């Protein structure tokens, strides 16, 4: 494995993926050997293994089943299905079966919210799980059938493109974008991208032309292009579709970027959950090399550029661009201090452009059609269209493309959503809007979004969503900085307490204070947005929180009376006087 990866420590993640897939864990002996071969400390390898949730230091089952814990999966009955699956396979959640054949656990959103409940088996996506599919899966596992022999319908992943527009309708020949860019001139093409008003589609909305310009102006000869395909935001799955059906155009956008900034190497950082796309994408890259639109001297124009695919390993934080670069370098995905930004010091300390899949797709279209093609659509500050991943309570979940400025109500009408209570826009880190706000617009001026659009109807309890999102952030915090590491776990505990009906008015006040602390003092976007689900729902539905509270001003976070059980047993007493009544606790607190 090390030899195939040219003994490059930057490829550590890829090597660990291969070891994990072969042995179902990372054995100590492999760590020792790798440390020697790559000339890096074994502790460094262990810290990487411990960081990513798809790597394990102890054996997992030959069949590793992970079931998505996204809120949309829960809305589709995931909890009951997981229990059914555990019974069928005779394995507890979080455990490996005694015979070592199968292990079962939860995982964060797998990017299949339009076709859940979803899961992964040895990294490959399982969709639309129901009892009959689970019966089949249990049977196949008990027979120890190799995955290649499993029925293909278990792995069927649909694009579900239900509304196309500027980007999804575009078709052009392989190589056309670079050809147009070179014909026009790379500087002139950058000017067209500037004119188009294209802003990064990951959510932050930084101007793409400006990013490319900054990178090209750096006094370095080595530069890199990175496509961020680590869409881990629950409710987001559009990049999955773009890479399945528009990969050529995405690679084309990366190549145009490379020609403009002068990069020779690009990376597609593909989230580990999209393993099912890996071979197909490799084939497309190979075909592009054969057709002279990738590799050396592309289109005989003296442009050298190639793209490598790197698979992630189950860490949401790697969607943050500096964490992604760390991961690409074979390290734990801990966000860097910024500045310096990747455009000046990115991959291996060299100037690097990191853009989202959709951004590169748009850039390719602009290179072919010119800036006005894009700028004529959208709003004043949000040009072009936005591709949305729509899921939750609607009859037609899937991919929708709209000009920026579309109202939430229009989208709800199109996807068949009735009796809607609210919509979570932009995933857990985004904003929850209530049914009083459906005239609001998707645009950087109003509701900025990376594309996740989760609908909740009136039968849903918003606190279930808050509970799910708060657990998600506590699980995904990288642990680097204290406000987020400790704060997200305290938020989770506090929300649990309130949701479970043990909270008091004082707990809500404390929760709000904690939210502000985590938001204001965390190192990166994850921590800074982790409190959003609480803050946006507290603001809109204060009564909902109040309705779960007890009629006391404070209740301790643990069972005080239960804690005295040992003392009661030792004293051989169990009369009323040996118990702490709630009323006593209240008066003592007052
Ligand atoms: Fe890591 Fe959270 Fe700190 Fe970001 S805010 S660096 S995710 S601990």
What is the number of structural domains in the chain?
A: 6
Establish whether residue 531 lines the binding site of ligand 1, counting it when its CB lies within 6 angstroms of any ligand atom.
Answer: no
pLDDT at 566: 77
Residue with the two structure tokens 């050298």: 304
* Tens of pLDDT, residues 385-395: 999 999 999 99
Establish whether residue 474 lines the binding site of ligand 1, counting it when its CB lies within 6 angstroms of any ligand atom.
Answer: no
Asked if residue 1 is part of any domain, the answer here is no
- Ligand 1 pocket test, pick from 326, 520, 526, 530 with the greatest ligand atom count within 8 Å of Cβ, gives 526
What is the distance, to the nearest Å, from the Cα of residue 538 to the centroid of all Cα atoms in its chain?
25
Question: Token pair of 86, please?
Answer: 């555990």
440 and 580 part of one domain: no
Give the span between the Cα atoms of 278 and 283, in whole angstroms: 9
* Tens of pLDDT, residues 100-117: 999 999 999 999 999 999
Give the span between the Cα atoms of 304 and 415, in whole angstroms: 44
Give the span between the Cα atoms of 101 and 457, in whole angstroms: 40
* Tens of pLDDT, residues 216-270: 999 988 999 999 999 999 999 999 999 999 999 999 999 999 999 999 999 999 9
Contact by Cβ (8 Å): 234, 112: no
With cut-offs at 50, 70 and 90, classify the pLDDT of residue 183. very high
**Separation of CA 488 and ligand 1 centre (Å):** 10
Q: What is the CATH number of the domain that holds 419?
A: 3.10.20.600
Half-sphere exposure (CA, 13 Å, Cβ side) for 118? Answer: 27
Asked if residue 277 is part of any domain, the answer here is yes
Q: What is the CATH number of the domain that holds 104?
A: 3.40.30.10
Across 296-303, average pLDDT? 94
With cut-offs at 50, 70 and 90, classify the pLDDT of residue 578. confident
Measured CA to CA in angstroms, residue 334 lies from 105, 141, 319 at distances of 24, 36, 11
Q: Which of 412, 443, 460 is at the close of a domain?
A: 460
**Separation of CA 446 and ligand 1 centre (Å):** 27
Establish whether residue 102 lines the binding site of ligand 1, counting it when its CB lies within 6 angstroms of any ligand atom.
Answer: no
With cut-offs at 50, 70 and 90, classify the pLDDT of residue 461. very high
Give the span between the Cα atoms of 49 and 57, in whole angstroms: 7
Full 3-state SS string of 77-93: CHHHHHHHHHHHHCCCC
Q: What is the atom index within ligand 1 of the atom nearest the CA of 480?
A: 8
Cα torsion at 383, 384, 386, 387 (round to 10°)? -160
> pLDDT: is 577 or 466 the higher one?
466
Does residue 534 carry a pLDDT above 50?
A: yes
Establish whether residue 527 lines the binding site of ligand 1, counting it when its CB lies within 6 angstroms of any ligand atom.
Answer: yes
582 and 436 part of one domain: no
Q: What is the CATH number of the domain that holds 216?
A: 3.40.50.11540
pLDDT at 561: 74
With cut-offs at 50, 70 and 90, classify the pLDDT of residue 144. very high
Does residue 575 carry a pLDDT above 90?
A: no
What range does the domain containing 501 cover? 463-547
Beta-carbon contacts of 139 under 8 Å, excluding residues fewer than 6 positions away, are none
488 and 507 part of one domain: yes
Does residue 559 carry a pLDDT above 90?
A: no
Of 322, 590, 356, 344, residue with least CA distance to 478: 322
**Separation of CA 68 and ligand 1 centre (Å):** 23
Asked if residue 502 is part of any domain, the answer here is yes
281 and 172 part of one domain: yes
Establish whether residue 484 lines the binding site of ligand 1, counting it when its CB lies within 6 angstroms of any ligand atom.
Answer: yes
Asked if residue 4 is part of any domain, the answer here is no
Does residue 485 carry a pLDDT above 60?
A: yes
Mean pLDDT of the residues in the chain:
94
Give the span between the Cα atoms of 272 and 277, in whole angstroms: 10
35 and 67 part of one domain: no
Give the span between the Cα atoms of 298 and 305, in whole angstroms: 8
Asked if residue 56 is part of any domain, the answer here is no
Q: Which of 434, 460, 486 is at the close of a domain?
A: 460
Asked if residue 554 is part of any domain, the answer here is no
**Separation of CA 481 and ligand 1 centre (Å):** 5
**Separation of CA 174 and ligand 1 centre (Å):** 40
What is the distance, to the nearest Å, from the Cα of residue 375 to the centroid of all Cα atoms in its chain?
29
Q: What is the atom index within ligand 1 of the atom nearest the CA of 485?
A: 8
Parallel/antiparallel/unpaired status of strands 452-457 and 385-392:
parallel
295 and 343 part of one domain: yes
Across 327-354, average pLDDT? 97
Q: What is the CATH number of the domain that holds 514?
A: 1.20.1440.230
Does residue 581 carry a pLDDT above 60?
A: no
**Separation of CA 550 and ligand 1 centre (Å):** 33
246 and 347 part of one domain: yes
Phi first, then psi: give them for residue 524, nearest 5 degrees: -135, 180
Establish whether residue 317 lines the binding site of ligand 1, counting it when its CB lies within 6 angstroms of any ligand atom.
Answer: yes
Across 540-557, average pLDDT? 78
Asked if residue 57 is part of any domain, the answer here is no
Radius of gyration of the chain (CA): 25
Strands (E), 164-302: 224-229, 265-270, 295-298
Contact by Cβ (8 Å): 476, 438: no
Of 402, 374, 365, residue with least CA distance to 387: 402
Strands (E), 34-173: 63-68, 95-96, 102-107, 119-121, 124-126, 161-163
Beta-carbon contacts of 502 under 8 Å, excluding residues fewer than 6 positions away, are 550, 555
Q: Which of 352, 375, 398 is at the close of a domain?
A: 375
pLDDT at 587: 44
Beta-carbon contacts of 353 under 8 Å, excluding residues fewer than 6 positions away, are 211, 212, 215, 223, 224, 225, 226, 257, 261, 263, 342, 343, 346
85 and 198 part of one domain: no
In the chain, % of residues over pLDDT 90: 90
Half-sphere exposure (CA, 13 Å, Cβ side) for 306? Answer: 10
Contact by Cβ (8 Å): 63, 100: no
366 and 488 part of one domain: no
pLDDT at 557: 62
454 and 566 part of one domain: no
Establish whether residue 477 lines the binding site of ligand 1, counting it when its CB lies within 6 angstroms of any ligand atom.
Answer: yes
**Separation of CA 67 and ligand 1 centre (Å):** 25
Give the span between the Cα atoms of 491 and 1, in whole angstroms: 42
Half-sphere exposure (CA, 13 Å, Cβ side) for 439? Answer: 1
Of 269, 324, 275, 309, residue with least CA distance to 478: 324
- Ligand 1 pocket test, pick from 522, 525, 529 with the greatest ligand atom count within 8 Å of Cβ, gives 522
Give the span between the Cα atoms of 450 and 200, in whole angstroms: 9
**Separation of CA 29 and ligand 1 centre (Å):** 31
Does residue 584 carry a pLDDT above 50?
A: no
Ligand 1 atom 1: the closest Cα is on which residue?
Answer: 478
Does residue 580 carry a pLDDT above 70?
A: no
Parallel/antiparallel/unpaired status of strands 295-298 and 420-425:
unpaired
What is the distance, to the nearest Å, from the Cα of residue 321 to the centroid of all Cα atoms in its chain?
12
**Separation of CA 490 and ligand 1 centre (Å):** 14
Across 428-452, average pLDDT? 96
Within 10 A of 442 (CB to CB), how many other CB atoms are there?
A: 26
**Separation of CA 489 and ligand 1 centre (Å):** 12
Establish whether residue 523 lines the binding site of ligand 1, counting it when its CB lies within 6 angstroms of any ligand atom.
Answer: yes
**Separation of CA 335 and ligand 1 centre (Å):** 7
174 and 323 part of one domain: yes
Establish whether residue 335 lines the binding site of ligand 1, counting it when its CB lies within 6 angstroms of any ligand atom.
Answer: yes
**Separation of CA 477 and ligand 1 centre (Å):** 6
Contact by Cβ (8 Å): 210, 199: no
Establish whether residue 529 lines the binding site of ligand 1, counting it when its CB lies within 6 angstroms of any ligand atom.
Answer: no
pTM of the predicted model, to two decimals? 0.92
Count how many residues are written for the chain: 590
Q: What is the atom index within ligand 1 of the atom nearest the CA of 478?
A: 1
**Separation of CA 518 and ligand 1 centre (Å):** 10
pLDDT at 574: 82
pLDDT at 553: 57
Ligand 1 atom 4: the closest Cα is on which residue?
Answer: 524
Asked if residue 153 is part of any domain, the answer here is yes
With cut-offs at 50, 70 and 90, classify the pLDDT of residue 204. confident
**Dihedral sign of CA atoms 315, 316, 317, 321 in order:** positive
310 and 277 part of one domain: yes
Does residue 289 carry a pLDDT above 70?
A: yes
Establish whether residue 226 lines the binding site of ligand 1, counting it when its CB lies within 6 angstroms of any ligand atom.
Answer: no
């Amino acid at each position: 494995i090390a030899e195939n990866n040219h003994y490059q420590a930057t490829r550590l993640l890829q090597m660990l993926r291969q070891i994990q897939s072969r042995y179902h864990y990372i054995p100590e002996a492999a760590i020792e050997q790798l440390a020697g071969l790559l000339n890096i400390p074994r502790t460094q390898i262990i810290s990487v293994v411990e960081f990513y949730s798809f790597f394990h230091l102890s054996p997992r089952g030959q069949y590793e089943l992970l079931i998505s814990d996204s809120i949309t999966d829960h809305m589709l009955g995931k909890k009951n299905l997981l229990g059914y699956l555990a019974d069928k396979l005779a394995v507890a959640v979080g455990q490996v079966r005694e015979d070592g054949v199968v292990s079962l656990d939860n995982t964060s959103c797998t990017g299949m919210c339009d076709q859940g409940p979803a899961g992964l088996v040895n990294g490959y996506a399982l969709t639309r799980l129901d009892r009959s599919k689970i019966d089949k899966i249990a049977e196949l596992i008990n027979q120890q059938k190799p995955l290649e022999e499993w029925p293909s319908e278990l792995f069927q992943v649909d694009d579900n493109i239900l509304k196309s527009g500027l980007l999804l309708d575009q078709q052009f020949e392989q190589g056309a974008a670079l050809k147009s860019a070179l014909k026009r001139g790379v500087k002139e093409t950058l000017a067209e991208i500037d004119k188009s008003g294209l802003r990064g589609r990951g959510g932050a909305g930084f101007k793409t032309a400006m990013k490319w310009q900054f990178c090209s102006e750096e006094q370095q000869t080595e530069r890199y292009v990175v496509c961020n395909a680590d869409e881990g935001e629950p409710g987001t799955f559009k990049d999955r579709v773009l890479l399945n059906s528009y990969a050529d155009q995405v690679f084309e956008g990366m190549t145009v970027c490379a020609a403009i900034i002068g990069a020779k190497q690009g990376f597609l950082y593909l989230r580990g959950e999209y393993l099912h796309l890996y071979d197909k994408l490799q084939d497309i890259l190979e075909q592009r090399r054969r057709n002279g639109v990738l590799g050396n001297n592309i289109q005989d124009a003296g442009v050298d550029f190639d793209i490598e695919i790197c698979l992630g390993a189950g860490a949401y934080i790697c969607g943050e661009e500096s964490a992604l670069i760390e991961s690409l370098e074979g390290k734990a995905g801990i966000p860097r201090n910024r500045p310096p930004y990747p455009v000046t010091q990115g991959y291996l300390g060299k100037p690097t452009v990191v853009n989202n899949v959709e951004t590169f797709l748009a850039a390719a279209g602009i290179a072919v059609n010119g800036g006005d093609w894009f700028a004529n659509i959208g709003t004043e500050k949000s040009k072009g269209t936005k591709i949305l991943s729509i899921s939750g309570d609607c009859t037609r979940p899937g991919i929708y493309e709209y000009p920026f400025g579309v109202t939430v109500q229009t989208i709800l009408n199109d996807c068949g959503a009735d009796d809607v209570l609210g919509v979570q826009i932009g995933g857990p880190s985004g904003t929850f809007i209530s049914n009083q706000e459906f005239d609001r617009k998707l645009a950087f001026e109003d509701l900025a979004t990376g594309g996740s659009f989760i609908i909740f109807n009136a039968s849903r309890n918003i606190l279930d969503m808050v509970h799910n999102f708060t657990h998600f952030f506590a699980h995904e915090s990288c642990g680097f900085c204290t406000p987020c590491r400790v704060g997200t776990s305290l938020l989770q505990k506090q929300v649990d307490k309130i949701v479970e009906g043990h909270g008091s008015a004082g707990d809500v006040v404390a929760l709000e204070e904690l939210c502000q602390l985590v938001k204001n003092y965390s190192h990166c976007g994850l921590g800074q947005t982790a409190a959003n689900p609480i803050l946006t729902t507290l603001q809109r539905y204060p009564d909902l929180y109040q309705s779960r509270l007890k009629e006391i001003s404070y209740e301790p976070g643990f069972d005080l009376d239960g804690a005295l059980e040992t003392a009661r047993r030792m004293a051989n007493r169990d009369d009323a006087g040996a118990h702490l009544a709630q009323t006593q606790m209240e008066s003592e607190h007052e």
